[in-house]
Copies of this chain bind each other. A is one copy, B any other.
Amino acid sequence: MLQSIMSFVHPVNHILKNVPEGLLFMSNKQKETIYDIAQKAGASASTVSAALNGTWKKRRISEKTAQRIIQIAREQGYTTNNQARALRTSRSGLVALLVPEYNRFFSNIAQTFSQEVRARNLCPVIISTERDPKEERHIVEDLSNWQIDSIFFVGSVSPEDLSRQCKDAQIPHVFVDQPCALAPSVVTDNRAGALMLTQQILASMPAATGDPLRDRVYFLGGDRRLPSTYNRIEGFSEAIRAHAGSVAPDQIIARTYAKDAATQTIADLYGQLGGLPRGLFINSDSVFEGAMRFIATLPEDELQTCAFGCFDYEPFGQLLRFPVHMIRQRHKKLVQRAFWHLEHTTTPVLEQIEPELYRAKT
User: Measuring CB to CB, which residues of chain A are less than 8 angstroms from any residue of chain B?
Assistant: 13, 17, 24-25, 27-28, 31, 79-84, 86-87, 92, 101-104, 107-108, 110-111, 114-115, 118, 123-128, 138, 141-142, 144-147, 164-165, 168-169, 289, 292-293, 295-296, 314-321
**A77 to B: closest C-beta gap in Å:** 10
15 more contacts with CB within 8 A, not counting A83-B146, A104-B104, A115-B128, are A17-B138, A24-B165, A24-B168, A81-B145, A82-B145, A83-B92, A102-B110, A114-B127, A123-B142, A124-B127, A125-B126, A292-B316, A314-B316, A316-B319, A320-B321
The distance in angstroms between the C-alpha atoms of A289 and B316, with both chains bound, is 7
Q: Which of B87, B111, B164, B321 contacts A87 (CB 8 A)?
A: B87
The distance in angstroms between the C-alpha atoms of A338 and B321, with both chains bound, is 39
- Give me 27 A-to-B residue pairs in the complex whose CB atoms sit less than 8 angstroms apart, sorted by A's number: A17-B138, A24-B141, A31-B169, A79-B141, A79-B145, A81-B147, A82-B145, A83-B84, A83-B87, A83-B92, A102-B102, A111-B128, A114-B126, A115-B128, A118-B127, A123-B125, A123-B127, A124-B127, A126-B126, A289-B316, A292-B315, A292-B316, A292-B319, A293-B318, A314-B316, A316-B317, A319-B321
The distance in angstroms between the C-alpha atoms of A136 and B83, with both chains bound, is 21
The distance in angstroms between the C-alpha atoms of A31 and B128, with both chains bound, is 26
What are the residues of chain B within 8 A of A123 when measuring CB–CB?
125, 127, 142, 146
What are the residues of chain B within 8 A of A142 when measuring CB–CB?
13, 123
**A299 to B: closest C-beta gap in Å:** 13
**A244 to B: closest C-beta gap in Å:** 29
What are the residues of chain B within 8 A of A319 when measuring CB–CB?
292-293, 295-296, 316, 320-321
Q: Which of B24, B82, B289, B295 contacts A146 (CB 8 A)?
A: B82
Instruction: Return the chain B residue nearest A88 by Cβ.
Output: B83
The distance in angstroms between the C-alpha atoms of A24 and B161, with both chains bound, is 11
Q: Which of B28, B115, B292, B314 contacts A168 (CB 8 A)?
A: B28
What are the residues of chain B within 8 A of A124 when measuring CB–CB?
125-127
Instruction: Return the chain B residue nearest A112 by Cβ.
Output: B102
Instruction: Return the chain B residue nearest A118 by Cβ.
Output: B127
What are the residues of chain B within 8 A of A289 when measuring CB–CB?
315-316
Are A25 and B165 touching (Cβ within 8 A)?
Answer: yes
**A282 to B: closest C-beta gap in Å:** 13
**A263 to B: closest C-beta gap in Å:** 12
Known: A123-B146, A142-B13, A319-B292. A168 touches B27 (CB 8 A): yes
**A346 to B: closest C-beta gap in Å:** 15
What are the residues of chain B within 8 A of A102 when measuring CB–CB?
102, 107-108, 110-111
